[in-house]
Structure 1
Amino acid sequence: MAIIRPTLEQLQALASRLHMQLTPEQASEYLALMQPSLDAYDLVDELPDFTPLVRYERTAGYRPSSRENPLNAWYYRTEVTGASSGKLFGKTLALKDNISLAGVPMMNGAAPLEGFIPAFDATVVTRLLDAGVTILGKATCEHYCLSGASHTSDPAPVHNPLRPGFSSGGSSSGSAALVAAGEVDLAVGGDQGGSARIPAAWCGIYGLKPTFGLVPYTGVMAVEATFDHVGPMTNNVRDNALMLEVMAGTDGLDPRQGAPEVDAYSHYLDRRVRGVRIGILQQGFQLANLDPRVATSVRSAIARFEALGAVVEEVSVPEHTLAGMLWGPIGCEGLTMQMMHGNGAGFNWKGLYDVGLLDKQVGWRTQADALSPSLKLCMLVGQFGLDHYHGRYYAKAQNIARFARAGYDRALERFDLLVMPTVPITAQPLPAADCSITENVSRALEMLGNTAAQDITGHPAMTVPCGLVDGLPVGLMLVGKHYAEGTKYQAAAGLEAAVDWRTL
């Protein structure tokens, strides 16, 4: 079917939007010159899309009732049975609902996307099915992934399985809640500012943000391509390592990847902690909202590492604080351009585009007033930067991010791992639906002080449950060299074997 051609008046209006003025005669001349290019659009429209084949059978599934879904942690239930053998055979899994599962609705926690049905599976979905998992459905996530708490999702907040009425963390809120509640063995989460690690910490499970580009992001809705990550969330270290072994490696479709260094992560699980050099990151314990009880719990776990033979000492990395601050211009301007103006895809990268998602995401413009307050805040900041400073602060922040990465790298020449609290506070009560904008946004962003930095620098970071404060879990975060996920698994497995965190 031929695409529409502009009229002379429409072409003049388009020119005006591009700060040009065309006379009717000039517009007529340009319109004639445009025809060969528009013929190419016709050709593209006629050709079938070139997307991966869907290899495992499934049904569309169903939206579970509140009785079946008391935590609001499921968005959609279905069942997709993977291979009859593999590293993860017999394990059940939930997917964060920004990850494409062909034929099953995907909403990304946001009403403007309701009704969207992906046409192909994300790369990580295919790899996990090839490894033998059974996918039980899509886990609720926060509104366009823009919250570290679990109150912003459409249609309803996600409850912490350890204490209903409290946040499960976000934005992979349902993923963490379902694993912690025992409804699935495994989950996949996304991480752009801590979105896998925060809910994992608040729900008492293990969550990994891999090295930037280690795991292909293909088929996952983008927020900002320079810090999009996806990673495993599990109840134990071994499952986490096996998931990463399955998920990691280039797929040839994600330009975030380059040439990632893949390892046999499960081979690190039986190595001792003795001799591992661990730096206690001072800035990670200096957050203004750090609960002293959280700090005590994390330091007690660090003492366990020392008792197991690790070499532990304090280290200062001022760039940790800087990297967290850089998230503002990079995240706000980047997501405004890619996820919103770019309709979830943006431009100028080679890879697998989801044309159907782009077509659906364009509809946010008719529902912009219903966007979450935290997303509106980011968009307002981002559009201000774009309008008044033409993206110069996005660009400069990306340059400075290399300096911030170098600060971590220098510390990691002395240490194998850096350690700090994952989140400065424990899970907080879910705010009321009619709370103020200030409370809504504050509760969505108050926990990001330690987790946003590694999304900017790309270093791998893992949260490990290390104790309880008033019955709510505390997470300890391990940060390591690029592609050194194995060392984190080595340390986490050592701590897991030495002590049950629920008794601390």
Structure 2
Amino acid sequence: MAIVRPTTEQLEALASRLHMRLTTEEASEYLALMQSSFDAYDLIDELPDEVPPSRYPRAAGQRPTGDMNRYNAWACKTEVKGAAAGPLAGRTVALKDNIALAGVPMMNGASTLEGFVPAYDATVATRLLDAGATIVGKATCEHFCLSGGSHTSDPEPVHNPHRQGYSSGGSSSGSAVLVAAGEVDLAVGGDQGGSVRIPAAWCGIYGLKPTHGLVPYTGIMPIESTLDHAGPMTANVRDNALMLEVMAGADGLDPRQVAPQVDAYTQALGRGADGLRIGILSEGFQLANLDSRVADKVRDAIARFEGLGASVEEVSVPAHSLAGALWSPIGCEGLTMQMMHGNGMGFNWKGQYDVALLDRHAGWREQADALSASLKVCMFVGQYGLERYNGRYYAKAQNIARRARAGYDHALSQYDLLVMPTVPFAAQPHPEPGCSITDYVSRALEMLGNTAAQDITGHPAMTLPCGLVDGLPVGLMLVGRHYAESTIYQAAAAFEASVDWKTL
């Protein structure tokens, strides 16, 4: 059908919002010139959209309650059976609830998106199903994924399976909990500042943020395209490597992917750590909020790598701290433009757009007060940078990000891996209901000191459990060269085979 044409009065008002003044006569003349463009809009409106097909039957499902969802980790339970055979046959998977699964609600942790139902499957969902997996539901995630804590999800906080009332980490909170609790075999998370690795560390599982662009992000609601990553979350290293084999590689729909280099990751698992060169990243142990008990656990684990034949020594990588600082202008201004002003999709990239998501998420403006405080503070920073400084700090930070990547690359030319604590402290209690904005936001963002950097530089990073502090898991993070996930898996598998981390 024909799109609605503006009146001359509406065009005058529109011009005013563009800082222009039109007379009624000028508006009428411009309106006549615009009609041929609007005719093209009519044509687009009449044509069917390009929507990837969904090949596996499923039901919409529903959110379980009570004892069926004791950690609040399920956003929705359903069942989508994949291929009859494949490397993941018989395995159950949960998808973070910002990942599209056709016909199944997707809320992305936010009440403002409640009721949205995607029309197609994300590429990672299709690949998992083609590999024989059964997708059994959507895992709760934090409010538009803007939190490293798990108290920001709508409608309720997600609880750590090791201790009720404690944070599971975020934003892939439910994904980590469901794997750690044994309710699913595998889960997919997303990572823009640590959102795979933080919850994996606090729940005692394995979580990988792959090289930027290795895993297609098609069908996953973005935050900021240069930071967006999706990765596997599993109870052991082999499952993690197997999942990455299934999910990795170009899909032809995601412009984040530039000739991604895939590998047979499971083949690296038996190589051992002997001969690996590991650099202990000094800056990773210099965070102001680093718990000394966590640092000790990680250093003890590093010593175990040395016992397995790896050479280990301290290295300073100033780019680590620089990359962490770059996250604020890139993350805040980028998400404000793409996820919020751009209605969850943004402009200027040749990817698969979810038109229905764009239409639905545009409604956040009518419910803006319901947005989480952690998202609001990022939007306030981003909007101020855009309005007061015209986006120059976003642009400059993206330029400087190449310097940060080069700093990491230089260190990784001397070492196979870098190692540091994933999160500076163990899981903490949820903030009290009705707490101050300061407490709410601080508890959402206080743990990003070591994880945000690799989202800026794009290097792969994996957390593996390496002990307990007060009965709560501690994570050690390995960082590798771009597309060197196999080296990370090689080291992680050697460590996993050498000890039961729960005894450390």
Residue type of the alignment partner of 1:18: L
Match of 2:446 in 1: 446
Q: Which residue of 1 aligns with 2:488?
A: 488
Matching residue's letter, 1:492: A
Worse overlay, 309-318 or 15-24 = 15-24
1:94 to 2:112 alignment: no
Instruction: Kindly state the Cα deviation for residue 269 of structure 1 after the two structures are TM-superposed.
Output: 0.2
Aligned to 1:201: 201
Structure 1: distance between partners of 2:364 and 2:393? 26
Question: Which residue is 2:361 aligned to?
Answer: 361
Task: Tell me the SS of whatever aligns to 1:494.
Answer: helix
Q: What stretches of structure 2 of length at least 5 have no aligned partner?
A: none
3-state SS in 2 of match to 1:456: helix
1:295 aligns with 2:298: no
Q: Which residue of 2 aligns with 1:350?
A: 350
Offset of residue 418 of structure 1: 0.0
Residue 402 of structure 1 corresponds to 402
Amino acid at match of 2:349: W
Give distance in 1, aligned partners of 2:408 and 2:62.
45
Structure 1 residue aligned with 2:239: 239
Letter in 2 for 1:468: L
Equivalence for 2:432 = 432
1:83 aligns with 2:83: yes
One-letter amino acid of the structure 2 residue matched with residue 389 of structure 1: Y
Provide the secondary structure at the position in 2 that maps to 1:346: coil
> Equivalences for 1:85-484 in 2 at 5 Å?
85-484=85-484
Task: Summarize the alignment of residues 66-81 of structure 1 with structure 2, pairs less than 5 Å apart.
Answer: 66-81=66-81
Deviation (angstroms), 1:178: 0.3
Cα distance in 2, alignment partners of residues 493 and 85 from structure 1: 26
- CA–CA separation in structure 2 for the residues paired with 1:90 and 1:302: 35
Partner AA of 1:441 in structure 2 = V
Q: Which amino acid aligns with 2:232?
A: P
Alpha-carbon distance between aligned partners in 2 of 1:363 and 1:67, rounded to the nearest angstrom: 33
Distance, in Å, in 2 between the alignment partners of 1:212 and 1:337 is: 20
**How far apart are 1:161 and its partner, in Å?**
0.4
Classify the secondary structure of the residue corresponding to 2:270. coil
Q: Secondary structure at the match of 1:475?
A: strand
Structure 1 residue 89, shift from structure 2 partner: 0.8
Alignment match, 1:4 = 4
- Amino acid of the structure 1 residue aligned with 2:443: R
Q: Which residue of 1 aligns with 2:56?
A: 56
- Counterpart CA distance in 2 for 1:76 and 1:365 is 26
1:229 offset after TM fit, Å?
0.3
**Match for residue 15 of structure 2?**
15
Cα distance, 1:5 vs structure 2: 0.2
TM-score of the pair, normalised by structure 1: 1.00
Which residue does the alignment assign to 2:498? 498
Q: Output the amino acid matched with 2:177.
A: A
Q: Secondary structure at the match of 1:67?
A: helix
The CA deviation at 1:65 is: 1.2
Deviations 1:274-321 (CA, angstroms, capped at 9, x unpaired): 000000000000000000000000000000000000010000001100
Aligned length: 504
User: What amino acid sits opposite 1:127 in the alignment?
Assistant: R
Equivalent position SS for 1:90: coil
1:70 Cα shift? 0.6
Greater Cα offset, 425-434 or 196-205: 425-434
CA deviations 1:111-152 (Å, max 9, x no partner) are 110000000000000000000111110000000000000000
C-alpha distance in 2 between matches for 1:272 and 1:172: 30
d(CA) in 1 for partners of 2:66, 2:195: 25
Q: Distance in 2 between matches of 1:376 and 1:98?
A: 19
SS at match of 1:68: helix
| DSSP 3-state at the match of 1:280 | strand
Q: Which amino acid aligns with 1:23?
A: T
CA distance, structure 1, for counterparts of residue 223 and residue 433 of structure 2: 25
The Cα of 1:63 is off from its aligned counterpart by 1.6
Aligned to 2:29: 29
Q: Which amino acid aligns with 1:142?
A: E
SS at match of 1:21: coil
**2:409 counterpart letter in structure 1:** D
State the SS of the aligned residue for 2:296: helix
State the one-letter code of the partner of 1:360.
Answer: R
RMSD of Structure 2 on Structure 1 (CA): 0.5
| TM-score, normalised with respect to structure 2 | 1.00
Question: What secondary structure does 2:66 align onto?
Answer: coil
Residue identity (%):
77
State the distance in 1 between where 2:365 and 2:484 align: 42
The amino acid across from 2:375 in the alignment is L
User: What amino acid maps onto 1:32 in structure 2?
Assistant: A
Measure how far apart 1:66 and its partner are.
2.3
SS class of match (2:188) = strand
CA distance in 1, matches of 2:430, 2:416: 37
Tell me the amino acid that sits aligned with residue 494 of structure 1.
A
CA distance in 1, matches of 2:419, 2:67: 40
The residue type paired with residue 51 of structure 1 is V
C-alpha offsets along residues 432-476 of structure 1, whole Å, 9 cap, x if unaligned?
120000000000001000000000000000001000001000000
Q: Aligned-pair distance for 1:67?
A: 2.5
- For 1:190 and 1:123, locate their aligned partners in 2 and report how far apart those are by CA, in whole Å: 14
Partners of 1:67 and 1:361 in 2: CA distance: 32
Q: Whole-Å Cα distance in 2 between the matches of residues 129 and 271 of structure 1? A: 29
Which secondary structure state, in structure 2, belongs to the residue aligned with residue 356 of structure 1?
Answer: helix
| 3-state SS in 2 of match to 1:420 | strand
Q: Which amino acid aligns with 1:347?
A: F
Distance in 2 (alpha carbons) for counterparts of 1:367 and 1:78: 29
CA distance in 1, matches of 2:389, 2:281: 35
Quote how far apart the aligned CAs of 1:221 are: 0.1
Offset at residue 272 of structure 1 (A): 1.4
For the residues of structure 2 that align with 1:65 and 1:198, how far apart are their CA atoms?
26
> Equivalents in 2 of 1:414, 1:226: separation in Å?
27
The amino acid across from 1:35 in the alignment is Q
